[in-house]
Structure 1
Amino acid sequence: MIMRAASVSQGRSVFLRVLVWTLLGAAALILAILIGVVVGETPLPLETVATVFANNLWGATYPVDRIDQGIIWSYRLPRTLVAAACGAGLALSGVVLQSLVRNALADPYLLGVSAGASTGAVAVTVLGIGGGAIGISAGAFSGAALAFLLVAALARAAGGGSVQLVLAGIAGSQLFNALTSFFIAKSANAEQARGIMFWLLGNLSGVRWPDVTLAVPAAFFGFLVCLWFTRAMDAFTFGASSAASLGIAVRRVQIVLIGATTLMTATMVSLVGSIGFVGLVIPHAMRFVVGPRHGRLVPASALAGAVFLIAADIASRTLIPGQVVPIGVVTALVGAPGFALILISNRRRI
């Protein structure tokens, strides 16, 4: 009886702890979104933002300037939501890849997945592959999947080690970046080339509500998949053989997780271009905060990735007055030092 009471008490304690952290995480994300809407080239008071939200969400009829209405509802809010979805999706992709390949440097950018997605999206846009029947997101997904398969095959042919995988990823990234540049030089006019090159550096300026309906479901789906397989990812930390000995269906789990990662990466790249270092730095930062267990690491990385990319988007809009800096430049300025620290701290294992 006493043991049962203790078990019930412990269960309630765990539930309350999870509930508290969930509420704190949701509050942090909502606050970050509000800051992303308020702060920009033209700062807007929180009262105006609340008025616009009330008019559009609950059918209120408060008077508000039409320009402010357009800036908040049609520009900043969808941009901020897509930034949050992209940050969460890329961070989750980094968590999955680092777990599956057991490499501290694995992320969609370094393993060539982002470069492959960029090539697929540009091929559909510039070359017109598919004759209009294939969308940019489908082209990006195909390119990302092809890039990962190529990198995995090359790494396996080279010995299948951790170092070989990173080197194969670098080679794959260079190959697909070269293909992208070739497609642009061959088929794009000057205006298209300039727009695509700016987009490839990461650009949220053209994001609107239809993009939200792609980015948010993709990130949420990937988040649910990662949550479902947290125990499997814990097992993969000790290698595929150890995971199999614990009853994990290794091949099925790998296919599902890599498919979810490819979907998230391809969707985000097709919308905002290639953004590096998010999937590399955020998971490592969260491991210092919540530890290596994926039951905590997955939600923490998703939240931190979302908040980080919202902050990077704010910086991209405000660093230079009257000019938008590509968000990939901002993430690289933060991520490159983080990448260097990871290299140094893992020099004995990679």
Structure 2
Amino acid sequence: MTHSNLSIKAFVKLGNFLSTFCELITANTISDHLNDKWIERFKTEAERAKHYNGWFSEENCVHAFKEWSNVLTQSNLENWLNAYDLNSNEEKTVALIMAGNIPLVGFHDLLCVLVTGNKALVKLSSNDQKLIPLLIDYLIEIEPFFKDRVTFTKEKLENYDAVIATGSNNTARYFEFYFGKKPNIIRKNRNSVAVLTGNETTEELTALGEDIFRYFGLGCRSVSKIYIPKDYNIDTFFKAMFPYNDIINHNKYANNYDYNKAVYLMSEFKILDNGFLILKEEKSFGSPIASLFYEYYDDIPALKEYLQTEEDKIQCIVSSGVIEGEISFGQTQKPSLNDYADGIDTVDFLLRTSLN
């Protein structure tokens, strides 16, 4: 069996396991299956995650597992990889410096490295130390081939051939200084926006709440700003957000809501507020937790032109029939395998990078 087929087979098994695990959680029957060591381990880590990172609620960890179960299927993996000549790869060690803002955010890079036939030298974020090693442990048990393909380290990175590093705009400068001489992908801050026309259905707007509130808005695919027409009725938006009001019961979210609201009020900024989300008129993209920026627009063509000039700061644009490449409401946290961060094809980068 070729390396590619071996990898696909193993990742499909991982996807099947994650699907079964999530079904047991949803059906509330998981306690009947705790004699299975992997079911028990995944349940334990999903429950414990919030103790290592207060933003990693059990619900969000299970949601991340579920989304990965949806994409790790035989057809999805084959369709994705058929676009590449995997035989052209020259085996190399790729250093991965991962983010930890949302559960499993670095797993796509690790998947890309492994399915292309390379080895991964992984430096995990201090905010996500447990979940990715858990998935790798499962992969190694079902396919021991992976045992020497992934190395986790907390030491200085050495003996690698290429780098994929994800961080903030500040850490990107550090990454470029230290890793600039190696083939690299260095990712910076990005945010996602939504363009509303006023013609959205209540169902579409409520789905947009998933893009705003999932993972507490901490992902680069989380919508942090909306563009609205001059005559937009903001009450329509607030009413559609109401199903997400329970988010204010999360302690860390509530603390951020209270803090940011106090800062805005003391600074005498004009804000709109529904008790769990603050709206502030603002030109920039990256809103603080529990806040959503908004900006009025005059006409769609001018807005489209502006967003195009700012594309290096934007990960996703959510809208309906407005902009080419738009993402449907409620779908930003459901990326497919070829939805590459920053629009950079990770597989192509890995295959083109040689040891010379």
Query: Structure 2 length as normaliser, TM-score?
Result: 0.27
Structure in which a larger fraction of residues adopt strand = 2
Structure in which a larger fraction of residues adopt helix = 1
